[in-house]
């Protein structure tokens, strides 16, 4: 084909318009949150399914037939885990979502300075309890009348800290996960390097039980999640036996353990960290997790692999895929998809 001058300039104009539109797309997607009105409704178009802000560490719960997500919120321009607030997301069908906006933040906590990291939420006695870590040193609890908050700090001081009697934590004091058993007993799990657990009192904001360290969590690092299936307790977490961090799990007949290591649920992610939750919703089981796919789509110049020197590990996005069990109750490894899960019709 003969290429003349006019064709080159037409090509240039086309290229410039494509670049211009791409830039506009990135800017409107990520910067739009400053102008967004909450509650903000959006539709999942596959994984990652939240594209207007960066989100990580998804704790999913079903309350009154609706699914609620309590994730961390990675700031738009983050270059470290400098998170400040927590949004609450909700859905009835896993396709149409609402970002209900900031429902608790460091500004609402008198005693905390920084690091609004991975939270969790639990329901008891007509109230919703939001458990959150700060400063890599404390775990607090806030309370609300609805699953959407807004949450109010319940104690005006931490519920737990590294100095709490019985705690063993040689890493960051983070990642609370609360599990309410069928008999109403509530347990809070937390920590990095060691899995600590303590049974909460009925008020959900105090405990008389002794903090203990759970045995049998092979390769544990962080991001504890507890769920129950057919009478067995499943403790899943981010950890590794060799190589990079994956989501691993172990099982027990008792929420305190000892647990027996069972295997891998999810391979390492390009976000470097892994953090997940497992939930049953309207008859099917789901795995929520995060990766840095959205960041890498916006930065095609970077190689989409775990790289601590990039901003990618600090600008994460949530994904959801189906989770299946084998006949014997062990969990099948989840292969991450781009399609995500289907919209529910019931």
Q: Which of 57, 74, 120, 172 is catalytic?
A: 57
Could you count the other beta carbons within 10 Å of the beta carbon of residue 310?
20
From residue 216, how far is each of 78, 114, 196, 252, 279 by CA, in Å? 35, 32, 12, 9, 23
At its nearest, how many Å lie between ligand FUB and the CB of residue 56?
5
57: contact with ligand FUB by CB under 6 A: yes
135: contact with ligand FUB by CB under 6 A: no
Name the residue nearer to ligand FUB (CB basis): 10 or 193: 193
Query: Is there a catalytic annotation at residue 293?
Result: no
Number of residues engaging ligand FUB in binding (CB under 6 A):
12
For ligand FUB, what does the binding mask look like between residues 80 and 109, x meaning CB under 6 A?
A: -x----------------------------
Q: Which of 108, 135, 172, 222 is catalytic?
A: 222
Q: Which of 344, 323, 316 is nearest to 97 (CA)?
A: 344
Tokens matching residue 134: 């700060």
The set of residues, in sequence order, having a beta carbon less than 8 Å from that of 2 and lying 6+ positions away, is none
Name the residue nearer to ligand FUB (CB basis): 13 or 306: 306
Name the residue nearer to ligand FUB (CB basis): 99 or 175: 175
Burial 194-219 (b: 16+ CB within 10 A, else e): ebbbbbbeeebbebeeebbbbeebbb
275: contact with ligand FUB by CB under 6 A: yes
What radius of gyration do the chain's Cα atoms show?
21
Q: What are the helix (H) ranges across 131-262? A: none
Could you count the other beta carbons within 10 Å of the beta carbon of residue 295?
25
281: contact with ligand FUB by CB under 6 A: no
At its nearest, how many Å lie between ligand FUB and the CB of residue 222?
4
From residue 240, how far is each of 192, 213, 246 by CA, in Å? 13, 19, 6
Q: Which of 99, 108, 222, 293 binds ligand FUB (CB under 6 A)?
A: 222
Q: Which of 50, 56, 197, 306 binds ligand FUB (CB under 6 A)?
A: 56
Cis peptide before 258 (omega within 30 of 0): yes
120: contact with ligand FUB by CB under 6 A: no
At its nearest, how many Å lie between ligand FUB and the CB of residue 280?
22
Name the residue nearer to ligand FUB (CB basis): 85 or 209: 85
Name the residue nearer to ligand FUB (CB basis): 58 or 147: 58
At its nearest, how many Å lie between ligand FUB and the CB of residue 38?
22
Secondary structure of 201-218 as H, E, C letters = CCCCCCCCCCCEECCCCC
118: contact with ligand FUB by CB under 6 A: yes
At its nearest, how many Å lie between ligand FUB and the CB of residue 60?
15
Interacting residues with ligand FUB between 247 and 266 (CB under 6 A):
none
Interacting residues with ligand FUB between 169 and 188 (CB under 6 A):
174-175
The set of residues, in sequence order, having a beta carbon less than 8 Å from that of 86 and lying 6+ positions away, is 70, 71, 72, 73, 102, 103, 104, 105, 116, 119, 130, 132
Tokens matching residue 64: 């009154």
Name the residue nearer to ligand FUB (CB basis): 112 or 327: 112
Query: Is there a catalytic annotation at residue 222?
Result: yes
C-alpha–C-alpha distance, residues 70 and 300, integer Å: 29
72: contact with ligand FUB by CB under 6 A: yes
- Enzyme catalytic residues: 57, 222
Site for ligand FUB, rule CB under 6 A: 56-57, 72, 81, 117-118, 174-175, 222-223, 273, 275
């Amino acid at each position: 084909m003969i290429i003349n001058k006019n064709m080159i300039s037409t090509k240039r104009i086309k290229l410039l318009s494509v670049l211009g539109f791409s830039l506009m797309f990135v800017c409107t997607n990520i910067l739009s949150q400053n102008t967004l009105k909450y509650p903000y409704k959006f539709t999942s178009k596959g994984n990652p399914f939240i594209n207007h802000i960066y989100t990580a560490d998804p704790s999913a719960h079903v309350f009154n037939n609706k699914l609620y997500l309590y994730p961390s919120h990675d700031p738009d321009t983050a270059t470290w885990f400098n998170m400040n607030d927590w949004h609450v997301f909700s859905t009835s069908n896993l396709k149409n979502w609402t970002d209900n906006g900031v429902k608790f933040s460091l500004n609402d906590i008198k005693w905390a300075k920084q690091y609004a990291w991975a939270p969790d939420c639990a329901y008891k006695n007509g109230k919703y309890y939001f458990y959150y870590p700060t400063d890599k040193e404390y775990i607090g609890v806030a309370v609300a009348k609805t699953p959407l908050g807004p949450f109010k700090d319940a104690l005006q001081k931490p519920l737990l800290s590294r100095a709490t009697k019985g705690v063993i934590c040689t890493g960051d004091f983070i990642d609370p996960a609360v599990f309410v058993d069928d008999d109403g007993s509530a347990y809070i799990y937390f920590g990095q390097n060691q899995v600590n657990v303590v049974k909460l009192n009925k008020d959900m904001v105090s405990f008389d039980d002794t903090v203990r360290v759970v045995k049998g969590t092979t390769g544990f690092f962080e991001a504890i999640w507890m769920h129950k299936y057919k009478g067995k307790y499943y403790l899943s977490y981010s950890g590794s036996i060799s190589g990079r961090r994956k989501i691993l799990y172990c099982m027990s007949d008792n929420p305190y353990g000892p647990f027996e290591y069972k295997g891998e649920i999810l391979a390492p992610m390009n976000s470097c960290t892994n953090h997940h939750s497992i939930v049953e919703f309207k008859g099917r089981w789901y795995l929520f997790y995060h990766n840095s796919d959205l960041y890498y789509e916006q930065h095609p110049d970077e190689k989409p692999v775990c790289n601590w020197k990039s901003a990618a590990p600090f600008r994460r996005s949530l994904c959801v895929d189906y989770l299946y069990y084998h006949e014997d109750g062990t969990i099948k490894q989840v292969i991450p998809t781009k399609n995500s899960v289907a919209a529910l019709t019931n």
